[in-house]
Amino acid sequence: MSLTFYLDKGASLDPAAPCLTLDGTTLSYGDVVELSHSVARALRRSGVAPGDKVGILSANDPTAFSCVFGIARAGAVWCPINPRNAAGETAELLDLFDCTTLIYQPSFDGLVAEIAPDLPQLTTLVRLGDPGPDGRAEAFDAWLDAARDDPSAEAAPPDEIVALVGTGGTTGRPKGVLLTDRNVETMSAITLMSYPFGERPVYLALAPLTHAAGVLCFPVLARGGEVVIMAKPDVGRFLELIEAHRVTHTFLPPTLIYMVLGHEALDATDLSSLQCFWYGAAPMSVARLTEALDRIGPMAQLFGQSEAPMMISTMSPAEHRRADGSVATERLASAGRPSPLVTVAILDQQGHPVPRGERGEICVRGSLVMAGYHRNPEATAEVSAHGWHHTGDIGLLDDDGFLHIVDRAKDMVISGGFNVYSAEVEQALMAHDAVRDCAVVGLPDEKWGERVTAVVQPQPGAEIDTEELVAFVKARIGSVKAPKQVELWADLPRSTVGKVLKNEIRVTLSR
């Protein structure tokens, strides 16, 4: 089932219905279908064959998101590029993914000019605007017009891969998650089974469409719903749009939900249209979730990862409350129940199930799980040991069947809904001449879920300006991964073999 299925299904219900809306301008289902056909023809004219990789580098934008369906219609593979990435990381992903084509917004002119000369396989650049200052890219409208009279370019991906999603590795090196049409179909089916949906849902997308907010669009479109897009985060505007568009569904990571709870307009905003306010991608404070249930309403949890998108476990709005309507506080720290169409097991290091209530690694099976990592059979084999997909998260199943995540791979920090791998941050810090050694950990944070915290050991005699050091890291790996707290220590705690003891660092910093 191609990604175009979700769009075409919605269009079959009413091609004139609103599909994608931004700042009062709406593309109907018919408009988006027509645009997707035009993009598919232009891709073929540019030499893109079924199975080729096409990247999209854009903030939230209806035209850019419409291109996803054009890529799918041509049988090519959609490669969403996080617009927050630094230039080096974007170049590394495009190279790893073997992208031949990049469609990008004009705001990324400088980044593209910096990386394109070193990516010879990137033969086609398409700018969502005019050709740009250096003429290197084709203007989007002209690119479409050149293929206007070409025959239909409908095709299916030869190996059923529809998306290639970048994710960091435990060493900080990115991996490419190969998602199939069946993965997306399973995710969409679970979504429609597990959460409330009425006729013509209205989904508000503030979070990046390159992440969870994007794939949640697919089941909404299959119901003929409208996706209201926000180009940039603005909590006040977010509340205005819920009321103005009678929004039924939305998704935010906890850090943004905390901002919603702190906004002065929240209690005066009419939120009665909401059926499902998803949260996930980071730990959420039980106290703040309880507050959200009272002040916002129908909160709904989801837990997944790029390799098993979004829906390993779910908790519907109804499951947040007991039968008498009171808040089910005993469940709020959980990640919900394992979802339909997914088998979850808690395994020990030998791949054996542990008794109910005991801790082990959360492992999953089913058609939600990725096909593997792109060009990385070793990592694929490792994550698939014992015939299960290993999430890297430590958890348990309680007597009521709720999944509790009690720990994560210790080198990963989830900050503001994004995975940050400490080794990558440490490598960037170590590139600074004044840094002798360092360690990066995650500490609990009311705003970010976890904040990236660096403990730095300076070179003998060196003085470090922590603000300058943070700016140095931002320039290399982007602001999301840069430390939000830097501590200078004369030495780091180590084991007898010289390994830095991160647990001791966490304990010390948490006092």
Domain count, the chain: 2
What is d(CA 174, CA 424) in angstroms, rounded to the nearest whole number?
Answer: 10
Domain with 57 in it: what CATH number?
3.40.50.980
Contacts of 185 (CB under 8 A, 6+ apart): 1, 367
**Model pLDDT for residues 187-211, shown as the tens digit of each residue:** 999 999 999 999 899 999 998 898 8
User: Is the pLDDT assigned to residue 170 strictly greater than 80?
Assistant: no
What is d(CA 228, CA 56) in angstroms, rounded to the nearest whole number?
Answer: 19
Which tokens sit at 95?
A: 């190279």
Q: What is the DSSP letter of 284?
A: -
Regarding predicted confidence, which is higher, 408 or 10? 10
User: Is the pLDDT assigned to residue 495 strictly greater than 70?
Assistant: no
Quickly state the pLDDT bin for 225 (edges 50, 70, 90): very high
What is d(CA 78, CA 95) in angstroms, rounded to the nearest whole number?
Answer: 14
Longest CA–CA separation in the chain, Å: 71
- pLDDT of the residue at 41: 98
User: Is the pLDDT assigned to residue 18 strictly greater than 60?
Assistant: yes
Quickly state the pLDDT bin for 459 (edges 50, 70, 90): confident
**Is 226 domain-assigned?**
no
Give the DSSP H or E segment for 38: helix 29-45
Average pLDDT over residues 132-150: 92
Site of tokens 């304990």: 507
Q: What is the mean pLDDT of the chain?
A: 92
**Is 423 domain-assigned?**
yes
Closest CA to 187 of 58, 463, 3, 358: 3
Closest CA to 239 of 254, 261, 217: 261
Contact (Cβ atoms closer than 8 angstroms) between residue 417 and residue 354: no
**Model pLDDT for residues 365-392, shown as the tens digit of each residue:** 999 999 999 999 999 999 999 999 999 8
Contacts of 500 (CB under 8 A, 6+ apart): 437, 439, 492, 493, 494
3-state secondary structure of 257: helix
**Is 447 domain-assigned?**
yes
Measured in degrees and rounded to the nearest 5, phi and psi for residue 138 equal -85, 140
Which tokens sit at 67?
A: 């291109």
What is d(CA 474, CA 481) in angstroms, rounded to the nearest whole number?
Answer: 7
User: Is the pLDDT assigned to residue 423 strictly greater than 90?
Assistant: no
Closest CA to 203 of 179, 239, 227, 174: 227
- pLDDT of the residue at 67: 98
Average pLDDT over residues 344-373: 96
Average pLDDT over residues 323-334: 92
Regarding predicted confidence, which is higher, 180 or 157? 180
What is d(CA 301, CA 132) in angstroms, rounded to the nearest whole number?
Answer: 42
Average pLDDT over residues 385-410: 87
Average pLDDT over residues 322-339: 93
**Is 393 domain-assigned?**
no
- pLDDT of the residue at 89: 87
Cβ count near 465 (within 10 Å) = 11
**Is 343 domain-assigned?**
no
**Is 213 domain-assigned?**
no
**Is 58 domain-assigned?**
yes
What percent of the chain has a predicted confidence (pLDDT) above 70?
97
**Model pLDDT for residues 240-292, shown as the tens digit of each residue:** 999 999 999 999 988 788 889 989 999 999 999 999 999 987 667 788 899 99
User: Is the pLDDT assigned to residue 348 strictly greater than 90?
Assistant: yes
**Is 266 domain-assigned?**
no
Host domain of residue 450: 412-510
What is d(CA 217, CA 206) in angstroms, rounded to the nearest whole number?
Answer: 12
Domain with 490 in it: what CATH number?
3.30.300.30
- pLDDT of the residue at 414: 78
- pLDDT of the residue at 171: 42
- pLDDT of the residue at 430: 82
Domain end call among 137, 162, 179: 179
What is d(CA 271, CA 292) in angstroms, rounded to the nearest whole number?
Answer: 12
Domain end call among 162, 179, 196: 179
Measured in degrees and rounded to the nearest 5, phi and psi for residue 243 equal -70, -45
- pLDDT of the residue at 363: 97
**Model pLDDT for residues 105-124, shown as the tens digit of each residue:** 999 999 999 999 999 999 99
- pLDDT of the residue at 13: 97
- pLDDT of the residue at 409: 56
What is d(CA 165, CA 93) in angstroms, rounded to the nearest whole number?
Answer: 9
- pLDDT of the residue at 390: 96
Domain end call among 179, 194, 212: 179
**Model pLDDT for residues 19-66, shown as the tens digit of each residue:** 999 999 999 999 999 999 999 999 999 999 999 999 999 999 999 999
- pLDDT of the residue at 168: 55
